[in-house]
């Protein structure tokens, strides 16, 4: 029995090391000249406590932030692949949720560059990492999001690599998220608006379990940006 136990331990060590290397494979510095993170000027939470609102928006430590440097398809947005539509917006959101659910380290987020991100102060952007893994870089590399133009040369390079390999959203046709928010759609797309107002000044996304409790006559909203522009606040879990 002792020999069996030792054998199990020896077999497990390579898997543990490989898992750790996977999460350390991308540097946490999102912008080209990002500074070191300190817990005093950022937000920290366990991965399981990070609430995913959509493919590029989260609630961490009670604050709603956009992940800097990337723009993911909106919830309800569809992309065309091999002649068939698929819910690329939902795919991006679920991939982001998986990153946090499987996070072996704390999630750290710190203020990003509002101007380079093209956001006003009403839409705070933060650069986020899990251990040494840069979340925006991972999403872009996986073909689940596009880079925000001018935010990071590294993000642009990662997106070109994903495009050359036809990974994720690059493997078919799609409307850019910014144009989709403006009302443009692919021919034949039946994109849905998957945010909803609760009549109390708050909004929820369909990823939230409380979404099902709201009546279908509640105001439908097509994006997180639209909800915040209308003055709604995300209802904390």
> Residue 156's domain is classified under what CATH number?
2.40.50.90
Q: What's residue 179's pLDDT?
A: 95
Please check the confidence at residue 143 and state whether its pLDDT lies above 60.
yes
Q: What's residue 216's pLDDT?
A: 57
222 occurs within a structural domain = no
pTM of the model as a whole = 0.80
73 occurs within a structural domain = yes
151 occurs within a structural domain = yes
175 occurs within a structural domain = yes
pLDDT band at residue 215 under the 50/70/90 scheme? low
212 occurs within a structural domain = no
234 occurs within a structural domain = no
Q: Report pLDDT digits (tens) over 50-106.
A: 999 999 999 999 999 999 999 999 999 999 988 899 999 999 999 999 999 999 999
pLDDT band at residue 110 under the 50/70/90 scheme? very high
CA distance 233 to 214: 16
Strands annotated E in the chain = 43-45, 51-54, 57-60, 63-67, 70-71, 79-81, 84-86, 107-111, 125-130, 133-134, 146-147, 195-197, 202-205, 220-221, 233-234
- C-alpha distances (whole Å) from 204 to each of 12, 57, 70, 94, 143 are 42, 12, 21, 16, 26
204 occurs within a structural domain = no
pLDDT band at residue 25 under the 50/70/90 scheme? very low
Looking at the structure of the chain, the number of domains it has is: 1
Q: What's residue 217's pLDDT?
A: 53
Range of the domain at 83: 27-190
20 occurs within a structural domain = no
* Residue whose C-alpha is closest to residue 150's, from 114, 111, 110, 117: 117
């Amino acid at each position: 029995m002792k020999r069996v136990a030792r054998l199990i331990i020896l077999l497990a060590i390579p898997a543990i090391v490989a898992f750790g290397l996977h999460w350390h494979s991308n540097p946490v510095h999102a912008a080209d000249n990002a500074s070191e993170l300190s817990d005093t000027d950022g937000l920290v939470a366990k991965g399981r406590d990070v609430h995913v609102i959509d493919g590029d928006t989260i609630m961490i430590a009670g604050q709603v932030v956009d992940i800097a440097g990337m723009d993911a398809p909106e919830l309800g947005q569809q992309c065309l692949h091999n002649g068939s539509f698929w819910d690329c917006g939902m795919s991006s959101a679920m991939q982001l949720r998986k990153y946090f659910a499987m996070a072996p380290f704390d999630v750290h987020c710190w203020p990003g560059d509002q101007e380079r991100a093209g956001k006003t102060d009403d839409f705070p952007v933060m650069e986020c990492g899990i251990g040494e893994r840069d979340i925006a870089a991972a999403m872009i590399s996986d073909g689940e999001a596009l880079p925000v133009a001018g935010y990071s040369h590294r993000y642009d390079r990662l997106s070109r690599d994903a495009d050359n390999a036809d990974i994720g959203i690059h493997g078919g046709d799609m409307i850019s998220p910014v144009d989709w928010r403006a009302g443009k759609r692919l021919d034949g797309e039946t994109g849905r608006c998957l945010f909803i107002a609760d009549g109390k000044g708050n909004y929820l996304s369909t990823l939230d379990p409380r979404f099902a409790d709201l009546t279908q006559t509640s105001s439908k909203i097509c994006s997180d940006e639209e909800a915040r522009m209308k003055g709604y606040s995300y209802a904390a879990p």
